[in-house]
Amino acid sequence: MRNPVVLIVDDEDEYVYLMISLLKDENYDISIARTGEEAMDIAQKKVPDIILLDVALPGINGFQVCKWIRAHPDLEQIPVLMLTGHDIEESAINGLKYGAEDVIGKPFKITELKLRIRTILRLNRYQILQNERLRFQWVVEKSHEGYVELNHIGNIAFSNSAANKILDIDDEIEDINEINFHERIKKLFSLVTSEAWEQWPNLPSEAYIMKPETKNTPSKWLKVELLELETGKEDCCMLRLRDTSQQIQLKQNIWTFENLVAHKLRTPLNGLRGSLDLLFQSNKDLTSDDAQELIKSTKSSINRLTISVTNILNHLHPPNTEIISQTKIKELILNICNHHQNEIVLNPINYHLDDNINENYLAISQDHFSLVIHEIFQNCKKFHPNDSPQIDLRTSETEDNKLLIEISDDGVNVDPTVLSRLKFPYFQIDQDFTGEIPGMGLGLSRVTSIVYTYGGNILVTNNENAAGLCVSIILPLLKNDITI
């Protein structure tokens, strides 16, 4: 913080030197002006914290300088302490008329002048801080992002309207100073990732709170950022709550579209190309039975391609959440896994499906569920040393009434510090990971964001005492008394 700047404006050397000597031990930066014109020039360049202004100056007098200062948009808030060797009463009236904070007669008492300067500087500094805080609060109040200031015990000291809405705070009923921020968000949201929030009140750069998607409302993602404040209050902090739902949804939609294009167009395009190649390479008579069969196959591929393009366009909209009964979950898993097993060309999958899962329900889009399984299978093959992984898939119900799907392979192990970072929605480890499996991580981070959208969790671990990874997908189950 800079030292206060004091501008002394006086044409009498005796008083200039006297004021310099009495202020030199006060840690002020002192500037000197001998005329009114010089004072105005220095004031514009240095913007002092206080001006000690003599009334009787050659040329423009002190009252005119004070009037000019009060009319200047950048200088109008600077306190002015006027000094006069003339009639103190008349000078005081004129000085206050033109906007001076106070008027002192010459000769002055040294102690009195020092105390006046200290008091004026302290009050002015307090007023500046108050004005800055009011401006800050006004700007924050108009913001669409949530801002929350926490005190030394983690309770809310200040929150703007956007934050009150996010945190479900009714300031007419609740005393915000009694609300603990961490307890409130645990009550209203899922904390993503749980490992990141275990470090509270220290937060990494990537920390989220989210509300899972329901049948009637989309998922809501909020990024929580710790802001650095230069307030001198080391035991307080400011948080920004920024809605990133659209960003994450956009990434999911792009990924969905990419996968749909890859899956739905590849087969009909390959059939179309193969039939046309045979027709043009064999120089067949187009009226022959073989040629007619190829033409028929080509038309079939075109029809399939048309249907696929239509399906892709339909899927440009986010998939709808569906309520799936537990009795159909096993059938759904088998169908999806068998489809992707054949499409990706995998070894037969070893299934260990729990037949004793209670009659509950699962809320998830079948398209999203299929994409999650496909991406994990794709990674299993992509990063296997021989492109031929042995995949085990196991399902069970956890003690806290959640569906656990474990998919493991016999590929390679990954550094645990890298695995822990895969859980962030935007994380991609291409930049960190070098060696035999470049590019790993983008698909898994996308899978993670989808699973979080439905209120679930995902764990990626190395297999114990064996090569390969295990991806554990945890999805909440709905109670069996749900109305469909």
**Model confidence over 32-74: pLDDT tens digits?**
999 999 999 999 999 898 999 998 898 899 999 999 999 998 8
pLDDT score of 217: 73
Question: Once rounded to an integer, what is the mean pLDDT over residues 402-416?
Answer: 88
pLDDT score of 189: 92
Rounded mean pLDDT of the chain?
A: 79
Stronger pLDDT, 344 or 64, i.e. the higher one: 64
**Model confidence over 166-211: pLDDT tens digits?**
999 987 788 888 899 999 999 999 898 777 788 888 877 678 998 8
pLDDT score of 394: 92
pLDDT score of 439: 37
Is there a contact between 427 and 441 (Cβ–Cβ < 8 Å)? yes
Distance of CA 109 to the CA centre of its chain: 58
Strand order across the beta sheet in which 5-9 lies: 29-33, 5-9, 50-54, 80-84, 102-105
Residue type, 22: L
pLDDT score of 405: 93
What percent of the chain has pLDDT above 90? 16
> 144-243 — its CATH code?
3.30.450.20
> 5-140 — its CATH code?
3.40.50.2300
| Length, in residues, of the chain | 484
> Could you tell me the pLDDT band of residue 385, with boundaries at 50, 70 and 90?
confident
Domain boundaries along the sequence of the chain: 5-140, 144-243, 248-314, 322-478
CATH assignment of 322-478, among 1.10.3720.10, 3.30.565.10, 3.40.50.720, 3.30.43.10: 3.30.565.10
Nearest alpha-carbon partner for 214 in 400, 455, 470, 415: 455
> Which of 23-37, 64-78, 416-430 is predicted least confidently?
416-430
> Could you tell me the pLDDT band of residue 77, with boundaries at 50, 70 and 90?
confident
Encoded tokens for 221? 């993602």
Same fold yes or no, 5-140 and 144-243: no
**Model confidence over 259-287: pLDDT tens digits?**
666 666 666 676 676 667 766 666 656 66
**Model confidence over 133-165: pLDDT tens digits?**
676 667 677 788 899 889 888 899 888 888 999
CA dist., res. 278 & res. 292, Å (int): 12
CA dist., res. 192 & res. 6, Å (int): 52
| Most trustworthy range by pLDDT among 212-221, 311-320, 432-441 | 212-221
pLDDT score of 185: 93
What percent of the chain has pLDDT above 70? 75
| DSSP letter assigned to residue 160 | -
Strand order across the beta sheet in which 156-159 lies: 156-159, 146-150, 237-243, 220-227, 208-211, 190-192
pLDDT score of 458: 87
> Is residue 292 over pLDDT 80?
no
> Could you tell me the pLDDT band of residue 393, with boundaries at 50, 70 and 90?
very high
> Is residue 318 over pLDDT 60?
no
